[in-house]
Amino acid sequence: MADGFDPGSLRQWWPKPASPRPIVIFGAGSIVGDAHLPAYEKGGFPVAGIFDPDAGKAKDLATRFGLTVFASQEEALSVEGAVFDLATPPAAHAAILEALPDGSFALIQKPMGSDLAGATEILSVCRKRNIKAAVNFQLRFAPMTLALTDAVEKGLLGEVVDFDAWLALATPWGRWPFLRGLPRIEIAMHSIHYLDFVRGLLGNPKGVHAKTIGHPNHDVAQTRTAAILDYGDRVRCVLSVNHDHDFGRRFQACEFRICGTEGAAYVKLGVNLDYPRGEPDEFWIRPKGGKDWVPVPLEGTWFPDAFINRMANLQRFAAGEDAELVGSVEDAWQTMALVEAAYQSSAAPATPIAPLPGI
């Protein structure tokens, strides 16, 4: 199969909608300026305006991108035919969804609520009000991961039997002040991306073994996680995540290694290395029948290009151009259930080791 393999043939982009709807953004936090607005500007999506209870913050961001600031939530909700982008903290999602017009289309910032109960409330609101919503687990839509998924679906790796996520980096948690005091951080706010991507690639695991902890050098609730996803006796899936490897760039890492029965792939998630400036993403593949590793030329990066692809799917679904809303609230709830199981596993007592017997 490697003969004639064209690495540039792997899918990296989602088709654009023919007539994109205006986007109304709730929230003016750093993620909006770092990713949402650069993506929508690059992707050609019209932004009707921004609303944030902190009017000064909204004005600063709107001025930077030449956008309108809505004076009230009611004004933001009055935009006809809009797609609503809820770039808000998880505790705020349900109330905003309750206020959206029935039958709206919305994108919800991850996580889908602060915990599984919050996710269930959001799911209930969306069902009750017939809101077609997706959760912004946009890692599924990054050019590198779209290409990886395409390679797996085309059989270039054979049967996937190993998935390793290895992170050793220094994450600037201070960029997100709303995280202060929250009881759940690392899995709920970061590794949730990897758990969601693995679900999309391999399906739902049978269960999870996990431990997530903080670090003595700061007061962020958790910044280090080890997790094993149980896919039975054929697939090994492991996440090793350390956000406190703050000793210079040389031995830092943020990468996936995916092995199949007949091929393998490597992904470097560059944005997390020196976030938000980041480094270039990388995708390498040794395809079925190949003898060497082949670099796949990437046409974009996780930030901001995954946000373009994520919004493209939602817009196309709203227009009837896509039959499936990838990462819908129905699907995302299952990612939240996996997150909940990981926290429960972390809180459970470990199996004690037998003491040395007396002789």
pLDDT digits (tens, 9 = 90+) for 18-72: 999 999 999 999 899 999 999 999 999 999 999 999 999 999 999 999 999 999 9
Sheet holding 105-108, edge to edge: 47-51, 23-26, 83-86, 105-108, 132-135
Q: Are 196 and 333 spatial neighbours (Cβ–Cβ below 8 Å)?
A: no
From the CB of residue 96, how many other CB atoms can be counted at a distance below 10 Å? Answer: 20
Quote the pLDDT of residue 275.
Answer: 87
Residues 175-194: what's their mean pLDDT?
Answer: 90
pLDDT tens column, 116-168: 999 999 999 999 999 999 999 999 999 999 999 999 999 999 999 999 999 99
| Domains of the chain with bracketed CATH | 23-139+308-328 (3.40.50.720), 140-299 (3.30.360.10)
Identity of the residue numbered 325: L
Q: Are 303 and 82 spatial neighbours (Cβ–Cβ below 8 Å)?
A: no
Angle, CA 313 vertex, CA 263 and CA 310 arms, to 5°: 70
pLDDT tens column, 255-291: 999 999 999 999 999 999 988 889 999 999 999 999 9
The residue written with tokens 């709830």 in the block is 333
Of 194, 191, 198, nearest to 213 by C-alpha is 191
pLDDT tens column, 63-90: 999 999 999 999 999 999 999 999 999 9
The band of 109, judged by pLDDT with boundaries at 50, 70 and 90, is very high
Task: Give pTM, 2 decimals.
Answer: 0.95
